[in-house]
Amino acid sequence: MIHIKRPFLVVVIGYITGILWGLYFKKSIILFYIPIIAICLFYQVMKKKKSSFKLFSMRRYFRYFKLIFSIKIISIFIISSIISNFIVLVLNQKYENISKDEEEIQKVVVVVGRKEEKQYKVSYQVKWDDFYAYLYMDKKKVIELDIGDKVEVRGTFQKPKIVRNEGGFDQTLFYRSKKICGVLQAEEVQLLSHANGRTIEKLIQEIVVQIENKIDILLNKEQSALLRGLLLGDTSQIEEEQQKAFRISNLTHILAVSGMHIVYIVIGINGILLRVLGKNKTRLILIVFLLIYSAITRFTPSVLRAVFMAICLNISKLLHRKNDTINTLAFSLWLILLDNPYSIMNIGLQLSYMGTIGILFFHSIFQTLLQEKETKSKQQKKKIQENFIIEKFKEILIPILAAQIVILPISIFYFNSFGIYSILANILISIFVGPVIILGFIMVTVSFLFFPLAKMLAVFLQFGLNIIIGISGISQLPFANIYFPTPSVGLLIIYYVVIFAIGELYLIYQNDFPNGTQIRIKNIIAMIKIHIREHFKKYRNISIVLVIFWVLFSNLPQKLEIHFVDVGQGDSTFIETPLHHTILIDGGGSEFSNFDVGKNTLLPYILDKGYNKIDYVFISHFDQDHVRSDC
């Protein structure tokens, strides 16, 4: 019987495949598997006898594929992908059949989220049957609601906006990743009944409100907003300019509660309770606290990932069992996707998991590289080992590099920008953010027990928060933010295949005791080197021809393309000339809206087309709906 070392890794890869197939192809994946299986069976029947040795022979290397991907692994992958694909197709149909867009409806709903103030409206998250939605009420007609209240809503149901431009923001997938089906635009709201008793959701919400009130009292507005983001992941109170500074400096991850926060919580609780209560009791308290904290932070995917892994690690230590980090990581992702398959499109989830994968895979590689760089002689090695500052710098730098090499392409794909000072900013922030988060938790806890002591701690905390705000000021430096055209999905796949292949080969050649498979890989690479050396001139000529062909092909005149960009009210036209020049005619906009069409619509559209500059700009006339945008 074949033993699968990491079954949940196979399950989750298959599950993701089925989800993506359902989201983008909107067809059953079984239709894809049937011809593939038929071809494989036909090949087995028609395959010839063993032929003579060939270096580049599919048959020769197919046996290695069968060693890695056994029938059992392939079966689990296929079954998992079929299940997830079926679930997504059913959910797609379910969301589509809820109601028509702009249809008049009358629903009885239950309030499940706290009130959020907007410019002209008040918003609540509500639920009816198995659906969640946002309830919008005019501020003039608003009635105070609480979690658990049952209300009757009469108004208009609005579906999420469709993608209006190629590569634009997909509000439908964004809403579904949060289990939201649309918006109830209320004309009349009637309270039917108040919540019965204190539900868990209401209790958690009361705790959050009390924590926010304590923070607001102890700190000024700017510091309070930042600490809310650091501890609770609530960035709604942070000014737009400050959020932009964090975004340009590539520091937004500290405002999205994730693995870093959980690590500091674990360090803080262990530091305070370990000597007093011992290991086992401290671990039990830590597990309970992490569950409460994940509820307080609204069970965001990045928090669930980190909390689940921390809990599994502590449970394994309590049971004296070895914890497989990769299997645990895969299992946590599978549970999140089992609850909501659309979570795979959550950018926070993608960055969190890919960053963790980068640290797990590349940490040892960067550590070895830095050690090799530093240890040119025994005397130098001894000197470096005695240098505490350099060792600490390495501890900070290595995880940042390991995570950045994996998440950088995703960041460019979604945000089209990269700050050249981001590594420096992350190194500086990692020095101060840990103590600030730990001290912030201590201050909030103490504020419920002895408020004067909390006020004393707030003085030190203010100093740390000001330093973090100061570090985000790196965004003001020249060239702090460089825009990049959106890379294609194919280019992203090639990038990840290359870096992981290089990393794996590096680990193989660094292994002093390689296993059988690693020896085979070394032998194959050696044979390829010999083959290329023997036919060097041929491969050199082919490479030169391919490069010349690529240069000529990429500079050939193309078709004239005219794109009429949907900028809402107003007009905007983007033109690609046959000689690869770009022309923008008008930029759209509206004098009745603060929505920045240039930044939020036009700039992403041009970057998605593969351009990061415009050669010519023409304005037809100076009405606000033609020029009120800022690229």
Between the alpha carbon of residue 266 and those of residues 283, 284, 363, 398, 434, the distances in Å are: 9, 12, 21, 21, 11
The whole-angstrom separation of Cα 307 and Cα 332 is 9
Largest CA distance in the chain: 85
Paired residues of 108 in beta bridges: 152
Task: Tell me the average pLDDT across 130-143.
Answer: 83
- The pLDDT of residue 201 is 75
The larger pLDDT score, comparing residue 590 to residue 60, is at: 590
Question: How would residue 63 be classed by pLDDT, with cut points 50, 70 and 90?
Answer: low
CA-closest candidate to residue 586, choices 598, 599, 576: 598
Task: Tell me the average pLDDT across 518-526.
Answer: 80
The pLDDT tens digits for 347-369 are 888 888 998 899 888 888 888 87
The whole-angstrom separation of Cα 239 and Cα 237 is 6
Q: Dihedral, CA atoms, 418, 424, 426, 429, nearest 10 degrees?
A: -140
Paired residues of 582 in beta bridges: 576
Question: How would residue 87 be classed by pLDDT, with cut points 50, 70 and 90?
Answer: very high
The whole-angstrom separation of Cα 99 and Cα 95 is 8
**The pairing of beta strand 180-193 with beta strand 131-138:** parallel
- The pLDDT of residue 86 is 95
Q: Hey, where are the domains in the chain?
A: 7-96, 103-197, 561-627
Helices (H), 238-346: 240-248, 259-277, 279-296, 301-318, 325-339
The pLDDT tens digits for 163-208 are 777 777 788 888 998 889 999 988 888 888 877 766 777 788 888 8
For the cut 70, the answer to whether the pLDDT of residue 336 exceeds it is yes
- The pLDDT of residue 238 is 83
Strand (E) or helix (H) holding 155: strand 150-158
- CATH 3.40.50.1000 describes domain 103-197: no
For the cut 70, the answer to whether the pLDDT of residue 3 exceeds it is no
The pLDDT tens digits for 531-586 are 788 888 888 888 899 888 888 877 777 888 888 888 877 778 898 888 888 998 88
Tell me the residue length of the chain. Answer: 631
What percent of the chain has a predicted confidence (pLDDT) above 90? 10
For the cut 70, the answer to whether the pLDDT of residue 592 exceeds it is no
* Per-chain mean pLDDT for the chain: 82
Task: Tell me the average pLDDT across 605-625.
Answer: 82
The whole-angstrom separation of Cα 307 and Cα 290 is 6
The larger pLDDT score, comparing residue 15 to residue 397, is at: 15
CB atoms within 10 A of CB 585: 18
- The pLDDT of residue 83 is 94
